[in-house]
Amino acid sequence: VCQYLLEHYINNCHGAEFAAFVTQPRKISAIALAERIADERGEQLGVSVGYAVRFDSLHPRPYGSLMLVTVGMLLKRLELGLRGISHIIVDEIHERDINTDFIMIVLRDMVNMYPNLRIILMSATVDTNLFTNYFGDCSVILLKGRNFPVQYYFLEDIVQMIRFLPSTDKLKRETKGGRDDEGDEVTEETQNLNLGVSEEYGLNTKLAMNQLSEKEISFELIENLLNLYELQALLNDIVNKGEEGAVLIFLPGWNVIQLLLNFLKSHPVFSNESLFVILPLHSQLTGQEQRRVFERHSPGVRKVGFFLTTKIYYM
């Protein structure tokens, strides 16, 4: 969208009047998108495309340009006023956090004060009525795209699919009562919510669910799932076609990410660096470490990576 706008102004001899700030929800997505746009335009970063995130920035020319920023950086920029800004594009507005909500308040006030300012809000999943009512009389443009097939599998489905049973040395210890980590009283019926398995699942599945702790992540289960025949067939198909592929594993914290990272790197199969690339992705990593997920690998290397992250990143 931002490139269409830039090209429109340039083709109509008004390129010097265009300077857009485009927000992204995270640092890595702002930098990656800036690099991609610059590559599509056949330019180096810093010509017509730049970015600004915390502790890192590369500014483009002042006019006829696109600036990819995080919401927090846009808020700081707006403290200096609107001079040099013709368009503000807020992407992924469904990601509701304090910065995004605050920028909505600021922009609503600014659009009334500066009628020449153009504001574009974008999302693939947002409730458009919510924002049209909030901003008043504004246009809505719907663009239809192709939806990729997604199949949902719940924990019980995975356990039954791979016929998983925890190793005897990893079975959780049952207790009859007491208090949990938060100090709340725990009874036998409320200790493990995994016990509430539907009758459609077999006895072995119920037994395995009973042995899995809902408060712990089973790396053994992840290992078995990665070794699943269908997944191996998919990976082989990727290799034979020469296509890139990836397995995304979302985890609830940096400590767990490190544990699984070490687990996979010591695995007899997945530790083979000539076949698999195992990469963590987290805000605690440096920008250079985060960019590794976008690197292309040498020919002959299986282009399959395990990205261990707590949130979905927009790649």
Residue 280: its pLDDT value, please? Answer: 87
More confident residue, 249 or 74: 74
Q: Is the pTM of this model over 0.75?
A: no
- 30 and 107 together in one domain: yes
Per-residue pLDDT at 74: 94
| Pair (163, 188) in one structural domain | yes
Max mean pLDDT among 4-18, 92-106, 223-237 falls in 4-18
pLDDT, tens digit, 9 for 90 and up, residues 121-130: 998 877 888 8
* Assigned domain for 143 exists: no
Half-sphere exposure of 130 (CA within 13 A, CB side): 10
User: The domain that contains 67 carries what CATH number?
Assistant: 3.40.50.300
Residue that is last in its domain, among 107, 135, 163: 135
Mean pLDDT of 58-63: 94
Rounded-to-integer distance, Cα 263 and Cα 7, Å: 49
Question: In which domain, by residue range, is 196 found?
Answer: 152-215
Which of the residue ranges 9-13, 165-169, 183-187, 265-269 has the most confident prediction, judged by mean pLDDT?
9-13
23 and 111, same domain (yes or no): yes
Please name the helix (run of DSSP H) or strand (run of DSSP E) that holds residue 309, with its range, or none. Answer: strand 304-309
In a domain, 184, yes or no: yes
User: Region 23-43: what's the mean pLDDT?
Assistant: 93
pLDDT digits (tens, 9 = 90+) for 84-97: 899 999 998 888 78
Average pLDDT over residues 208-233: 76
Higher pLDDT, 311 or 268: 268
Least confident of 48-52, 62-66, 273-277, 300-304: 300-304
What would the pLDDT profile of 160-211 be if each residue is shown by its tens digit? 888 888 876 554 444 444 444 445 554 444 556 566 677 778 788 888 888 8
Size of the chain in residues: 315
Q: How far separated are the first and last CA of the chain, in Å rounded? A: 17
Which two structure tokens, joined as six digits, stand for 67? 């600036």
Judge whether 259 lies within some domain.
yes
Task: Tell me if 146 is assigned to some domain.
Answer: no
- Note whether 112 and 14 are same-domain residues: yes
Domain match, 246 and 221 both: yes
Residue 23 to residues 75, 111, 125, 146, Cα–Cα distance (Å): 10, 17, 17, 24
Pairing, β 245-250 against β 277-280: unpaired
Number of separate domains in the chain: 3
Predicted confidence (pLDDT) per residue in 128-152, tens digit:
888 888 888 788 888 887 777 888 8
